[in-house]
Structure 1
Amino acid sequence: MLEVTALPLAELRERSSEKWREYPADVLPLFVAETDFPLAPTVSAALRRAVDLGDTGYIASRTPLPATYASFARRRFDWEPDPARMRSTADVSLGIVEILRRVTQPGEGVVVTPPVYPPFYDLIAEAGAEDVRVPLIDTGTGWELDLDGIRAAFEGGATAMLLCSPHNPTGTVHSRETLTALAEIADEFGAAVVSDEIHAPLVQPGIVFTPFLDAGDAAERVGYAVVSASKAFNLAGLKCALMVTASEPTSDVVRGLPIEVEWRTGHFGLLAAVAAFSEESDPWLDGLLATLDQNRVLLEDLLASRLPDARYRIPDAGYLAWIDLSRVGWGDNPARRILKEAKVALHFGPAFGEPGRGFVRLNFGTSPEIITEAIERIATLVDR
């Protein structure tokens, strides 16, 4: 395992990505899902080698990425997807849209489970469909899919579901039993399930992640997965994702996509993804998970001591914290006041759907110092 620590704030402010350019320098940016860690050494080496060679052309028609991802899935998830049933594209969002366009007709319903990643609503609209919202069930200790509600949505005419697994923003890892039941319901109604599994490499040790396509025969028949190294390895700007299938009919859908869908893959993104999914990167990823584990517990401790009215459940995966501030009394969108008065940028809870009222999403993929400073700034609003 390698030790993975965040860069100093002064260096981070030299970055030119969205996280560090959206707000003035007096704001701590903990909103967008970018991390503050150096690249994995394997990724840096692959990109440097490409620059040295001037290897900046089009992606090749045959690449090692499918086989490399299959090996990664075998090591990390005990799953053996078929490399021949994978195809690359620019990013997970593009993969979702292109698949939804082929498995739905204009105006048909696509089930989503708010609170959920806000672009899901836009991606469904871009594909020409309409979102059908079936909120997660809050069990009091976690969140679960509302399988009865999803069944009702399919009975009502929805023809597909856009699944977030692991779930953003709650960090929930759905059980194999739940995913199997979901697949069987979808199969009963002839509906497709498109599973966004971008956060899967960030599942914490001791938590079992089940890829949707590995959740049984029905999942193979109805399912499409879209995966990427971009969240775990901070590669969003390099543009590379994989669309994965597990049956001949679903594979035919992905194979039938125009070649331009695949050619939109970034060449540097593909090179970086191959390096990230290689076995040589596992020690770095293990180190990252250890750091995130420490950060998620630190956040719990800080909230308990400085914002005791906040409610937060430690996520099973990822580096995003879903925090309920409704008892603090800062309205439906507390992130607005926090940004204006505490100079901390968090993601607006209501953007995730109706269940997000009173919530904020905080990115703890950073240093303990920045997390601590952010909570101290927010707590001063209560102290006043």
Structure 2
Amino acid sequence: MIFDKHIDRRNSGSLKWDFMAEKLALEGDDLLPMWVSDYDFQAPAAVIEALQQRVAHGVFGYAERDDRYYQAVLDWYQSQYQITLERAWICSVHGVLPGLALALQQLTQPGDGIVIQSPGYGSFNKIITLNQRVVIENPLRQHAGQYSLDLDHLEHCFQQGAKALIFCNPHNPTGRVWTAEELLAVAQLCQQYQVWLLSDEIWCDLTMPGKAFHSALALPSELQQQLIVASASSKTFGLSSLRIANFIIMNPPLRAAFSERLDAHGLDVFNSLSLCAATTAYLTGAPWLSELKQYLQHNINLLAEFINTELPMLAFTPPQAGYLAWLDCRALQLSDDALQQQLLKAGLVFSMGRGFGIAGSGFIRLNLGCPRATLLQALQRLKTALTPC
């Protein structure tokens, strides 16, 4: 199995493996990083070959999206989700987060409230607060380990004057894939209160076998006028540093204003290697992705079985999408600092739940996008960290 291959990422400029000291103030040669949400897998072979050919060409002048790039995106949405897009709807940006930040600058004013679900991706808070907007948390409901939307509280947020909602679908860190009914309810509330709906769908391609993803792009046309959908091939195919994202906007005036915002920031040319990688991945990557999702599902099942038999004090609901495990450690009755110290003593670096908001306190996030041998090593360390002597 190609995903079992161990690839040493140390000294490759990897954020996850090489920058724990700078980013987390952690030192130690034996630390096992399971935090940053990228793969320890190689990209698809066809993508690597296409990049090698592009590099061999040797000329790296200004690059633009060609017909092949656009068609690859259109065909991907048609084949994977039976959604028919128009080329004109696609605005490309150097990453989802930069695009969301630009959208907030365009659509809202300093001091405006921006809603996010919590626990939620910490970088949403960053782009909101650093752009002088105000984070409004809409806490998710949790029952028997399953998360759901609190639509009554969301409406309250809108009634208090929130101007935009960053909606993570599928959700990071919980792995929830929102149902068509949930998505429709959110969009209807946004329309009722004239709130901009920014749907971050970067995890959509990693919906697990047997689960159905519902994109905001499939909403009725009357609910699409205040909608921007963000997607990318980066999470799907392990191309996180070859950044190019697509912001899909059906409303012509809104799209024109967003394109003007890109021009205002000089974002009018693209990385030729990013274009090459994304195009090739969309055109050829479906079989690779199918194998990957089966592998990730096995990792999820392995983790669930291990917790059930070895660490029953933890609670784990398998993600419906993505390769991130959201582990509930609250039964240990440890502070977040004490929990982190026990993990570090065992040589484990997880994402601590408190980084996802107050609702994440007592949780840890574990990256399952790794070879099975690495996961087994992490699980044994986790048992050492949490089992009383």
**Whole-angstrom CA distance in 2 between matches of 1:335 and 1:93:** 30
Superposition pairs of residues 100-119 of structure 1, within 5 angstroms: 100-119=104-123
Matched to 1:155, the amino acid is Q
Superposition pairs of residues 8-157 of structure 1, within 5 angstroms: 8=6, 11-13=8-10, 15-23=12-20, 24-60=28-64, 62=66, 64-157=68-161
Superposition pairs of residues 140-179 of structure 1, within 5 angstroms: 140-179=144-183
Which digits, 9 at most, give the CA deviation of each residue in 1:4-60, with x for residues without a partner? 414315x23353311110244301110001101111012101211110101422222
Check whether the contact 2:317–2:326 (CA below 8 A) recurs between aligned residues.
yes
Matched to 1:263, the amino acid is D
Matched to 2:378, the amino acid is A
**Whole-angstrom CA distance in 2 between matches of 1:176 and 1:142:** 17
| Offset of residue 182 of structure 1 | 0.7
Equivalent residue, structure 2, for 1:225: 229
Superposition pairs of residues 180-259 of structure 1, within 5 angstroms: 180-259=184-263
Check whether the contact 2:65–2:275 (CA below 8 A) recurs between aligned residues.
no
| Offset of residue 266 of structure 1 | 2.6
Matched to 1:5, the amino acid is F
Alignment match of 2:364 (pick from 360, 363, 382): 360
Matched to 1:13, the amino acid is R
| Offset of residue 133 of structure 1 | 0.4
Check whether the contact 2:202–2:230 (CA below 8 A) recurs between aligned residues.
yes
| Offset of residue 170 of structure 1 | 0.5
**Whole-angstrom CA distance in 2 between matches of 1:162 and 1:344:** 31
**Whole-angstrom CA distance in 2 between matches of 1:195 and 1:7:** 34
Task: Give the structure-2-normalised TM-score.
Answer: 0.93
Which digits, 9 at most, give the CA deviation of each residue in 1:237-264, with x for residues without a partner? 1121111112223323323223245336
Q: CA RMSD in A?
A: 1.7
Alignment match of 1:298 (pick from 302, 305, 308): 302
**Whole-angstrom CA distance in 2 between matches of 1:172 and 1:261:** 36
Alignment length (residue pairs): 380
SS in 2 for 1:323: strand
Q: Is residue 268 of structure 1 aligned with residue 288 of structure 2?
A: no
SS in 1 for 2:73: helix
Q: Is residue 336 of structure 1 aligned with residue 334 of structure 2?
A: no
Check whether the contact 2:83–2:217 (CA below 8 A) recurs between aligned residues.
no
Gaps of 5+ in 2: 21-27
SS in 2 for 1:12: coil
Q: Which stretch of the first structure deviates more once superposed, 201-210 or 167-176?
A: 201-210
Moved over 4 A (4+): none
Matched to 1:15, the amino acid is S
Q: Is residue 7 of structure 1 aligned with residue 5 of structure 2?
A: yes
Gaps of 5+ in 1: none
- The sequence identity of aligned pairs, in percent, is 28
SS in 1 for 2:365: strand
Which digits, 9 at most, give the CA deviation of each residue in 1:85-113, with x for residues without a partner? 11111101001001111111111011000
Check whether the contact 2:17–2:33 (CA below 8 A) recurs between aligned residues.
yes
Matched to 2:314, the amino acid is A
Which digits, 9 at most, give the CA deviation of each residue in 1:164-214, with x for residues without a partner? 111000110001111111111101111101111111111112211111121
* Alpha-carbon distance change, 33 to 303 in structure 1, aligned in 2, over 3 angstroms: same
**Whole-angstrom CA distance in 1 between matches of 2:70 and 2:106:** 22
**Whole-angstrom CA distance in 2 between matches of 1:218 and 1:186:** 12
**Whole-angstrom CA distance in 2 between matches of 1:94 and 1:174:** 24
Matched to 2:271, the amino acid is G
Check whether the contact 2:115–2:165 (CA below 8 A) recurs between aligned residues.
yes
Check whether the contact 2:184–2:219 (CA below 8 A) recurs between aligned residues.
yes
Which digits, 9 at most, give the CA deviation of each residue in 1:99-139, with x for residues without a partner? 11111111101100011110000111233311110111113
* Alpha-carbon distance change, 263 to 333 in structure 1, aligned in 2, over 3 angstroms: farther
Task: Give the structure-1-normalised TM-score.
Answer: 0.94
Check whether the contact 2:114–2:135 (CA below 8 A) recurs between aligned residues.
yes
Equivalent residue, structure 2, for 1:325: 329
SS in 2 for 1:360: strand
Matched to 1:122, the amino acid is K
Equivalent residue, structure 1, for 2:349: 345
